Amino acid sequence: MNELIRMPDSAEKTQVPESRDVSQIYDTAAGDEIFALAAEIYPICRSITGNGVRETLRILGRYIDIDINEVPTGTEVYDWTIPPEWNIRNAYIKDARGHKVVDFADLNLHVMSYSVPIRKHVTLSELRSHIHSLPEQPDVIPYRTSYYSQDWGFCMAHRQVLSLRDETYEVMIDSTLDEGSLTYGEYLIKGETDEEFLLSAHICHPSLANDNCSGIALLTYLASRLSTIKTRYSYRFLFAPGTIGSIAWLALNEPTVKRIKHGLVLSMVGDGGGPTYKKSRQSDAKIDRAVSHVLRHSGLKPSILDFSPYGYDERQYCSPAFNLPVGLFQRSKFGAIPQYHTSADNLDFIRPEYLAQSYRLIASTLDAIENDVMYLNTNPKCEPQLGRRGLYAAIGGTQDVEASRMAMLWVLNLSDGIHSLLDIAERAELPFAAIRCAADLLRQSGLLIDPIC
Amino acid sequence: MNELIRMPDSAEKTQVPESRDVSQIYDTAAGDEIFALAAEIYPICRSITGNGVRETLRILGRYIDIDINEVPTGTEVYDWTIPPEWNIRNAYIKDARGHKVVDFADLNLHVMSYSVPIRKHVTLSELRSHIHSLPEQPDVIPYRTSYYSQDWGFCMAHRQVLSLRDETYEVMIDSTLDEGSLTYGEYLIKGETDEEFLLSAHICHPSLANDNCSGIALLTYLASRLSTIKTRYSYRFLFAPGTIGSIAWLALNEPTVKRIKHGLVLSMVGDGGGPTYKKSRQSDAKIDRAVSHVLRHSGLKPSILDFSPYGYDERQYCSPAFNLPVGLFQRSKFGAIPQYHTSADNLDFIRPEYLAQSYRLIASTLDAIENDVMYLNTNPKCEPQLGRRGLYAAIGGTQDVEASRMAMLWVLNLSDGIHSLLDIAERAELPFAAIRCAADLLRQSGLLIDPIC
Amino acid sequence: MNELIRMPDSAEKTQVPESRDVSQIYDTAAGDEIFALAAEIYPICRSITGNGVRETLRILGRYIDIDINEVPTGTEVYDWTIPPEWNIRNAYIKDARGHKVVDFADLNLHVMSYSVPIRKHVTLSELRSHIHSLPEQPDVIPYRTSYYSQDWGFCMAHRQVLSLRDETYEVMIDSTLDEGSLTYGEYLIKGETDEEFLLSAHICHPSLANDNCSGIALLTYLASRLSTIKTRYSYRFLFAPGTIGSIAWLALNEPTVKRIKHGLVLSMVGDGGGPTYKKSRQSDAKIDRAVSHVLRHSGLKPSILDFSPYGYDERQYCSPAFNLPVGLFQRSKFGAIPQYHTSADNLDFIRPEYLAQSYRLIASTLDAIENDVMYLNTNPKCEPQLGRRGLYAAIGGTQDVEASRMAMLWVLNLSDGIHSLLDIAERAELPFAAIRCAADLLRQSGLLIDPIC
């Protein structure tokens, strides 16, 4: 007989805590709200530093009480140094007749990010050596950066490049690269414990809707909704420039890092692909199991990928000295779609319904993590008689009754002080929500109790 | 070099025990004998209590010296209470002309089990509210019970229900629900040790041939044959009503429960489907490995299923405080065939050849469990020279020689004090019987000894 | 944070050892050289004892300074006894007209190995009882032996057997079975450590090109090339008769056996099948992982087989008291091809290009084992900035840059004091050579150091 199961004396019985029902934040308006916010920040010219990031964070501040942090140029953060701050007011290429061939004001992707200021007349030949285009996708404009080498460049549709006449052009980039700072935003929801769940989105890309206006907007909306309910974990939302931003945050917040128990990086959450989850370096962390479980029961066709050291900021969170349980959630996998890092990643590429779907998947994951507790069956010898407690028909609908009964039988059978609700959901191959609901019913009937802590 | 292998001094050498050859009970008459017994008990109206169970056990008593146990109505057994005893003498529905529309005497399935006594005239409308039928299988009569709510009912072919005219009917059920007891039968074969192997069949279903006249009959025959040979384990055969019966037995026999080392629940063992094995909650208990191994080498197409808390009495044996290594053996999986819990589960649905097959699979499983011992290769450095001991041709036939040699090489290679014969059979992917036979030959040649206990 | 990673003080830092680049021995001439040697030893009549083995070893001695060992007839080696030495000068069958039907001088396979001397006239009927042929492969001559029972025999194409007329034949075998010895060859390359890598080929088959002139020749060439470079391990090459030879070696060299850390048996390495690797009994030894890894990245279609106690001398190395990490490398699996143990296993059956391929696969395996070290990332918090160290373009070609960067990211991410380079290559699913190359670049940049020993 299983000696692990010791029933507490009734005097020892601890109070049954309330289930933390994150599903309360499911919201039919979510898709439209997230889309609207993504659309609002889409036109802003962001980079790894500069006013575009500040303006974006100011807009997010309308939804959540976000902290703005500035890290001065030259600050050393592990192996890296915060670069000069880049800002840009205007840029264009004019042809011999003074006609603007490309104009930054039309689309900020036209200028390579971190381009040094320039104003001169150049031959077509010299101009072309500074133009980036995609011969295989001749109608879209690529996104390019030059953060760590001094250079300038324009990005154009290849079809337009081919149409340029052999004449003299005026190139003008009115940018500045000065002492300044790198800016990131942070928002903390205090939970019952100091243990933290990190949610992180990169905020350094200019007009790319999916990558990552979608992630920024979803996290902001999630933060505003999550702040209205009680949670076990504290939730830290980080909006920081990719790579250098998360490196700076880690370097400046090591004590906080130790409190992170679960985490997700979000990017490209608004297209109809995937969903895709790349596991943390730990590979079987609770976050890995929870996301995988939620995605497998999503009715979609998820891809669950092993960790690799290439991707988004999970690269830094999962570097060997941190090895944090932080995975990457996306819809389409980065780099695997033609829109990736081009002007085709615009507001037509993301949709409210996909944003709503992603939002719900993330919320369901949080629900599983928040409620992944371990109960004890108070009646561990044989099954209790569910019928006389009215538990057979506790939920309406024949199929629901059947599913609810199976969920109750699984919870009873595995609530042995060894298996948590997520363990049970995995083994039962039932949605976590069904298991949690069954556990709630059984607790109310006194058939489950919290184990002695 | 493997320090785990220490050869005993010759003085320490223990006597090589005889192989316990359960295959002695393989029997060409088994199929017919089991079928005849199943056919004999098929007509009896069994329920979870009452004289039908007693009459059935009395018939089994012709084969084995079965103990009859009575648990009085009202006895508390864990979360349950033994219900009143139900008996039935007669029942019918008569139409307006006094013609019997259904008659209990024709088929006991016609009356819902545990129907309260009734005798009155009813309209067709009221009658239909008490009739159970299967619109999707209009020619068969379903099996229904109402153990824990006071109700009455008839079961009919749906085609017949549709033909009922709108007139007044007389319904009569001559049943009793009184203080009495729940009855179960138990039979113990004492082995060399007190460690027990539990074999359990539910005995509460009326005229359903496969579910479970087949299981009752097979276990009875097995018990009678097994009692004729020497075994290491003691074998406990339990014939009890489903759910409440096994719960009662567990509640009243906790000291015995601790001795159970392996167990099987048998139901529906006479049809041509499967074989199906549902693993114990432990999932890798020796019984799980032994049955899986035997089924994989059966030449049939077995389904090996993970444990789930829905099914037969393994639900109780595998409840968390017991967590016994008890699996479920069936042919077709319960609920997965149209005959399940209908009048189509009659004597035409089961066949002597399938009963014989099931019998042999169970006996082979017992053989593997009985003989799953661990030997030491007395010659662990390099292979011994089999040829000069005449072991190459120890078994006739070229293919047999080849198979026997492979079995001997595997046994020699893995008899290192870590691997048991079942471990070896699994790794070699050879039938357990071949491995046991090879081990017997090698022991006779002195190439294997028992390890020091 | 990962407490396992402790950075050494600079004073503690150990010298970075040179990478041991076994790929230096890759060699475009290898295929032709190995083939030429195999062809030279092909005609010799070898058996488990006798002058054929000595002559073969003498030829190998032209390439490597091989030690010749003689084990006298009658020596007990574990369960076995060294048999009398067999030598043969001549043999034939003559028909009634004195015409030689078969002649040992044409092909040594014509005489069953270990045939006792005979000279007499026999009827066709008696002759046929001593003739071995293959009715299903009527044009090839089988290879047969009779080591441990006194007998004589001839091997012939079945078509020729059928054409024999019913007349008297003269059979003559001029062989000797006398006190003598069993001969084996051994060659040791001393490495930086006394830990040994055993490479073993059987040397007892007569004119069978693939089985095992190919293995003997490959190992000899490998030994001669490997002796020119620095290695961590000492390499022991063993050329011994199958079964009795390896048993004798193990029995006479137990202290050496304890030093063996990795090992491979090679046979049939010259045909175009496979490659095939049969794992050691340990099943996940480093040799098993290294060969599997190399084969999976070979561009060929390898078969990776679980250990079984049937095959070549790995049977003895993997007997339970030794349980050495020794696997079997082959091209086609033994017994799985029609040429196996017939005259069709001749010099047409093996090819320089396949020998070269096999040679390279073995050398790549040695490279992985030699260089499977564990490094520490000196910058374990976040990624180091590869760009400013010029590491992004350290290797030419766009695809190479990409692959090299992924390899560097993997090495940095997993060089945590837990994962060795082979672990990293496996998890990254990148060729070991790419991982080793990335590690070399990172060491040169100071981004990796050796852990404190």
Q: Is any Cβ of chain C less than 8 angstroms from the Cβ of A247?
A: yes
A422-435 mean pLDDT: 97
A394 or A418, which is more confident: A418
C16 CA: distance to closest CA in chain A (Å): 21
Chain A residues with CB-CB distance to B282 below 8 A: none
CB contact under 8 A, C409 and A319: no
Structure token pair of residue C20:
């041991």
Give the model confidence (pLDDT) of A139-159 as tens digits: 999 999 999 889 999 999 999
What pLDDT, on the 0 to 100 scale, is given for residue C149? 86
B172 CA: distance to closest CA in chain A (Å): 28
Q: Is any Cβ of chain B less than 8 angstroms from the Cβ of A410?
A: yes
C141-147 mean pLDDT: 96
Give the model confidence (pLDDT) of C362-373 as tens digits: 999 999 999 999
Q: Give the separation between CA C214 and CA A427, rounded to whole angstroms.
A: 52
Structure token pair of residue B62:
């012709």
Residues 6+ away with beta carbon under 8 Å from A396: none
Is the pLDDT reported for residue A349 higher than 50?
yes
Task: Give the E-state strand segments of B156-281 in sequence order.
Answer: 169-178, 181-189, 196-202, 234-240, 260-266, 276-278
Q: Is any Cβ of chain C less than 8 angstroms from the Cβ of A316?
A: yes
Is the pLDDT reported for residue A3 higher than 60?
no
- Angle at Cα A363 formed by Cα A357 and Cα A364, nearest 5°? 90
Q: Is any Cβ of chain A less than 8 angstroms from the Cβ of B319?
A: yes
Residue written as token pair 């903390």: A188
What pLDDT, on the 0 to 100 scale, is given for residue B1? 35
Select from C1, C375, C382 the residue whose CB has the most chain A CBs within 10 Å, as the one to mutate to test that interface: C382
CB contact under 8 A, A320 and C410: no
Q: How many CA atoms lie within 13 A of C53 on its CB side?
A: 30
pLDDT range class, residue A43, cuts 50, 70, 90 = very high
Is the pLDDT reported for residue C16 higher than 70?
no
Chain C residues with CB-CB distance to A80 below 8 A: 382, 385
Chain A residues with CB-CB distance to B251 below 8 A: 381-382
Structure token pair of residue C428:
């990254």
Q: Is any Cβ of chain A less than 8 angstroms from the Cβ of B150?
A: no
What pLDDT, on the 0 to 100 scale, is given for residue A223? 98
CB contact under 8 A, C79 and B382: yes
Among A240, A272, A277, A264, CA closest to A355: A272
- Chain C residue at shortest CA distance from B384: C79
Q: Give the separation between CA C310 and CA B330, rounded to whole angstroms.
A: 37
What pLDDT, on the 0 to 100 scale, is given for residue C122? 97
> Does the model's pTM come out above 0.90?
yes
What pLDDT, on the 0 to 100 scale, is given for residue C133? 97
DSSP code for A133: -
Q: How many CA atoms lie within 13 A of A311 on its CB side?
A: 34
What pLDDT, on the 0 to 100 scale, is given for residue B319? 98
Q: Give the separation between CA B78 and CA B80, rounded to whole angstroms.
A: 6
What pLDDT, on the 0 to 100 scale, is given for residue A8? 40
Closest partner residue to C321 (CB to CB) among B1, B385, B410 is B1
Is the pLDDT reported for residue A111 higher than 90?
yes
Question: Could you list the pLDDT tens digit for every one of the 453 residues in chain B?
Answer: 333 333 344 434 444 445 588 988 988 899 999 999 999 999 999 999 999 999 999 999 999 999 999 999 999 999 999 999 999 999 999 999 999 999 999 999 999 999 999 999 999 999 999 999 999 999 999 999 999 889 999 999 999 999 999 999 999 999 999 999 999 999 999 999 999 999 999 999 999 999 999 999 999 999 999 999 999 999 999 999 999 999 999 999 999 999 999 999 999 999 999 999 999 999 999 999 999 999 999 999 999 999 999 999 999 999 999 999 999 999 999 888 999 999 999 999 999 999 999 999 999 999 999 999 999 999 999 999 998 898 876 545 556 778 889 999 999 999 999 999 999 999 999 999 999 999 999 999 999 998 654
Classify residue A360 as left (phi > 0), alpha (psi -120 to 50) or beta.
alpha
Select from B308, B313, B317 the residue whose CB has the most chain A CBs within 10 Å, as the one to mutate to test that interface: B308
A410-433 mean pLDDT: 97
What pLDDT, on the 0 to 100 scale, is given for residue A382? 97
Is the pLDDT reported for residue C199 higher than 90?
yes
Chain C residues with CB-CB distance to A146 below 8 A: none
Q: Is omega for the bond preceding A275 within 30 degrees of 0, making it cis?
A: yes
C99-126 mean pLDDT: 97
Q: Give the separation between CA B180 and CA B177, rounded to whole angstroms.
A: 9
Is the pLDDT reported for residue A398 higher than 90?
no
What pLDDT, on the 0 to 100 scale, is given for residue C187? 98
Q: What would the DSSP string read from start to end of C141-198? A: -B--B-TTS----EE--HHHHHT--SS-EEEEEEEEEES-EEEEEEEEE--SSS-EEE
Q: Give the separation between CA B35 and CA C303, rounded to whole angstroms.
A: 49
Classify strands A196-202 and A234-240 as parallel, antiparallel or unpaired.
Answer: parallel
Beta bridge partners of B184: B69
Among B449, B440, B446, B364, CA closest to B395: B440
pLDDT range class, residue C397, cuts 50, 70, 90 = low
Contact A155, A142 (CB under 8 A): yes
Q: Is any Cβ of chain C less than 8 angstroms from the Cβ of B387?
A: yes
Q: Is any Cβ of chain B less than 8 angstroms from the Cβ of A409?
A: yes
Q: Is C328 exposed, middle or buried (0-12, 13-18, 19+ CB in 10 A)?
A: buried
pLDDT range class, residue C453, cuts 50, 70, 90 = very low
Number of other CB atoms surrounding residue C450 within 10 Å: 16
Among C131, C145, C170, C172, CA closest to C86: C145
CB contact under 8 A, C381 and A322: yes
Sign of CA dihedral C22, C25, C26, C31: negative
Neighbours of chain A (3+ CB pairs under 8 A): B, C
Give the model confidence (pLDDT) of B341-369 as tens digits: 999 999 999 999 999 999 999 999 999 99
Is the pLDDT reported for residue A14 higher than 50?
no
Q: Is any Cβ of chain A less than 8 angstroms from the Cβ of C107?
A: no
Give chain C's mean pLDDT.
93
C2-29 mean pLDDT: 58
Q: What would the DSSP string read from start to end of B376-393? A: EES--SS---SGGGT-TT
Q: How many residues does chain B have?
A: 453
Closest partner residue to C257 (CB to CB) among B1, B5, B406 is B1
C199 CA: distance to closest CA in chain B (Å): 18
Contact A229, A271 (CB under 8 A): no
Is the pLDDT reported for residue A69 higher than 80?
yes
Q: Give the separation between CA A239 and CA A216, rounded to whole angstroms.
A: 7
Give the model confidence (pLDDT) of C250-279 as tens digits: 999 999 999 999 999 999 999 999 999 999
Structure token pair of residue A96:
């011999």
Q: Give the separation between CA B184 and CA B204, rounded to whole angstroms.
A: 10
Contact C234, C189 (CB under 8 A): yes
Chain B residues with CB-CB distance to C250 below 8 A: 381-382
Q: What would the DSSP string read from start to end of C58-103? A: HHHTTTS-PEEEEEETT-EETTEEPPPEEEEEEEEEE-TTS-EEEE
Q: Give the separation between CA C349 and CA C201, rounded to whole angstroms.
A: 19
Beta bridge partners of C174: C90
Q: Is any Cβ of chain A less than 8 angstroms from the Cβ of B252?
A: no
Q: Is omega for the bond preceding B275 within 30 degrees of 0, making it cis?
A: yes
Q: How many residues does chain C have?
A: 453
- Chain B residue at shortest CA distance from C147: B387
